[in-house]
Amino acid sequence: MPELKKTASYAWWGIKLMYRANPRRAIFVLSVRLMESTLGPLLVWLSAMVIDGLIRDYSAFSERGLFFWMVVLFVILTILVEVLEPIVEMNKKLLTVQIQKHIDELLMEKANEFEDIAPFDDQNFYNKIKVIRHNDYVTELWLDMTSNTFGGLVQIIGGTILIWTVFPLAPVLFVIMALPRVFAEAKLNNVTFEGRAEVQELRRRSEYYMSIPLSHELANEVKMYGLTSFFKKKYKDASHELIKMLSGDQRKWTLHNMGWGIAEAAVSGMVLLLIVSQASSGGIAVGALLLFIGALYQLREGINELFAVFAIGAREMVNLRNMAEFLSFQSPKTSGSLPVPARIHQGFVLEQVKFSYKGQREILNIDHLMLPHGKVTVLVGDNGAGKSTLVKLLLRMLHADSGSIYYNGMPLEAYDMDAFRSNATAVFQDFVRYEATMNTNIAVGDMEHYKDMDAVMRSAVLGGADGIAAKLPQGYETELGRFFGGTPLSGGQWQRVAMARAYMRDQSAQVLVFDEPTSALDPYMEHEVMRRLKQLGQNKTVVIISHRLSTARLADHIVLLQEGNVLETGDHLTLMKRGGVYAELYDMQASKYQEAGHNQ
C-alpha cells in the first residue's frame, strides 16, 4: 500500500510537471481528451433514447421533436471532436517537446544546486538521470498515459451510470471483479520490468558496451587492440540476459492478464445472458437492452484502457520515479556567509582530516598539514595517494568526513561558498575541452569578464596558448573540437587552453590549484609554468600537483603524500638532506634523466 501511495504521488508529480511546462496547452490537451471520452457514453445513451423514442412515437421524430435534435447534437459533437483531433495531436507533440525542455532545465538547475560533486560520484544516481534524458519517448508516453487515465475513468463512470439504470447490480459485480485485479497488478508491477534494479543495471551495461565501439574518443584504443568483438560479445551477453529477464516478466504478465480477461468476460457474459432473457420475456425495453450492451462495452473499454495505463505506467514509472527522486534530492547545505577577506594572512590548515568516497575505504587521513599563503606548494606522491582528492577538499568540491580545514584561520564552511569559489581558480586533471570557440574556451574561466577580449588574450599569453590562437584559421574565433566540425587540438594544446582559462581569474583569485598542469607539456613549457606560478604565488595560495620532481624542486614547499597520509613536508633542500622517500624518488628520477641525456 505505501508503494501504491508513492506511485500515485509520482504520477501526480508528473501531471504537475506537464502543467508547469505549458499550463494552457496541458489543459487544452487533457480537456479535449476528456470530451472525447464523454462522447462514448453519450453516444450510447443518445442511441438508446432515439431508438426507444422511435419505437414509442415515430411522428415525434419526423416532426423534428426532441429526438431529432438529439441526433443533431450528437452529429455536431462528433464533428467537433474530429476537427479537434489533429489540433490536439499537434499540441501533444509540442507539449512533449516543452515538457522535455522543462525537465532539462529542472535537471540543470538541480545539478547547480548541489554544493559539492559527491552526487555526481554516485554511479546509480547519476546514471539514472542520463538514462531518463535519453528516453524522449517517455515524455510522450506519459502524456498519453495521463490523458488515457482521465479518459478511462470517464468511460468507466459513464458506463457504470448507464448500466446502473438498467441493472443496478452489474456495476457492483464489476467493481468486485476489478478490486483484486488492481491489487494483483500493483504487486506484479513491483517485481517486473523496469521496476527492478537488475533490469536497470543490465540496460546501463548493454548501453555502455554498445557505445564503446561507436565512440570517437575510444576509437584509437578500440582499433589498436581490436576490441570491437570483445565488447560486442559483452553487449550480447548483457542484452541476452536482459531479454531473458524481460520475457519472463512478459510471460507472467500475459498469463495474469489472460486469467483476469477470461474471468471478466465470463461475468459480463452471464450478466448479458440475464438481461437478454429478461428482455425476451418483455421485462426490458429494446432501448434499455441497447443501452446496456453499449454501456457494457464502454465500461470494459474504460477498464482496459486504465489497466493498459497501469501496465505501461509500471514500466515507465521508474523513469518518473528516478526523475522525481533526483529533483527532490536535498544535498547537504554547508555554505556559510563569511566573505573572503581582501588580504589573506594564512593559507590552508588541515587538522585531523579524514575522507573516504561514499561507503569505500579511507582515502585521506591527515593529522596536520599547512599549505602556506604567498608560497607555491607542490603535492607529490604515488598514483592513488589522494592528491587530487585533497585539492577537491580544499576547493569544497568534497567534504571531509571528520576533522577541519581552515583557510585564513576560519573553517571552510564559514565562508559563503560562491564567494569562496570565486576567490579560487583551478586546472583539474580531467579539465574540459569545450566544443566552442577558442575565445569561449578561455573566457568561461571568469564569467564576470566573459566579453573582455583583452583579459582573454592576456590569459592566453599566461597559459602559453597565444601561439595556438595565432595559428588557428579564425584566431580566437575558431571553433575547437570535432563535435561541431571545429579544429581539433593536441593534448598539450588543450592543456594550455585550460591553463589560460584558469588564468582568467589570476588577478581576482587568491587560491590557485593546478592538478598536473604540465603532464602533457614539453619541459620548456613546464619550466615556464612553474616560473609564472612562482611570480603569481607571492600573494596567493598556490597548490600544484606534479609527478615531475624537477618541477617540484622549484616550489617553496613540498608535501609528499603516501596512501592518504602526509609522509614528508619541507622545501627541496630540507627534504634532500633528510634522505627520506622524497630524496630517494628525486634521485631515481634524476638518474633517469641523466641516463636519457647520456644515451642521446
Ligand X SMILES: Nc1ncnc2c1ncn2[C@@H]1O[C@H](COP(=O)(O)OP(=O)(O)OP(=O)(O)O)[C@@H](O)[C@H]1O
Closest to ligand X by CB, 357 vs 593, is 357
Q: How far is the CB of 210 from ligand X (least distance, A)?
A: 24
Strands ordered across the beta sheet of 362-371: 362-371, 348-356, 402-407, 410-411
Element (H, E) at 302: helix 286-328
Closest to ligand X by CB, 384 vs 491, is 384
Nearest to 427 by CA among 532, 548, 543, 560: 543
Q: How far is the CB of 10 from ligand X (least distance, A)?
A: 29
Q: Is 119 in the site for ligand X (CB under 6 A)?
A: no
Q: How far is the CB of 359 from ligand X (least distance, A)?
A: 9
d(CA 78, CA 498): 64
Match 542520463 to its residue by C-alpha cell.
Answer: 130
Beta-carbon count within 10 A of 594 CB: 10
Q: How far is the CB of 396 from ligand X (least distance, A)?
A: 16
Closest to ligand X by CB, 298 vs 546, is 546
Closest to ligand X by CB, 147 vs 388, is 388
From residue 562, give the alpha-carbon distance in Å to each of 301, 379, 382, 550. Answer: 69, 11, 7, 19
Closest to ligand X by CB, 322 vs 388, is 388
Element (H, E) at 424: strand 424-427
Q: Which residues in the 423-452 window bind ligand X by CB under 6 A?
A: 429
Closest to ligand X by CB, 329 vs 357, is 357
Match 613540498 to its residue by C-alpha cell.
Answer: 558
Binding mask 356-395 for ligand X (x = CB under 6 A): -x--x--x-----------------x-xxxxxxx------
Q: How far is the CB of 570 from ligand X (least distance, A)?
A: 19
From residue 77, give the alpha-carbon distance in Å to each of 32, 35, 72, 73, 539. Answer: 11, 9, 9, 6, 79
Long-range contacts, stretch 126-129, CB < 8 angstroms, 24+ apart:
127/204, 128/200, 128/322, 128/326, 129/322, 129/323, 129/326
Q: How far is the CB of 389 from ligand X (least distance, A)?
A: 3
Closest to ligand X by CB, 212 vs 363, is 363
Options 89, 109, 121, 595; binder of ligand X; rule CB under 6 A: 121
Q: How far is the CB of 380 from ligand X (least distance, A)?
A: 9
Closest to ligand X by CB, 47 vs 356, is 356
Q: How far is the CB of 392 from ligand X (least distance, A)?
A: 8
Closest to ligand X by CB, 421 vs 548, is 548
From residue 55, give the alpha-carbon distance in Å to each of 64, 65, 163. Answer: 15, 14, 21
Nearest to 384 by CA among 424, 348, 357: 357
Whether residue 502 contacts residue 514, with contact meaning beta carbons closer than 8 Å, is answered with yes
Q: How far is the CB of 369 from ligand X (least distance, A)?
A: 15
Size of the site for ligand X (CB under 6 A): 13
Q: 3-state class of 487 per DSSP?
A: strand
Q: What's the residue count for the chain?
A: 600
Write out the residues near ligand X by the rule CB under 6 A: 121, 357, 360, 363, 381, 383-389, 429
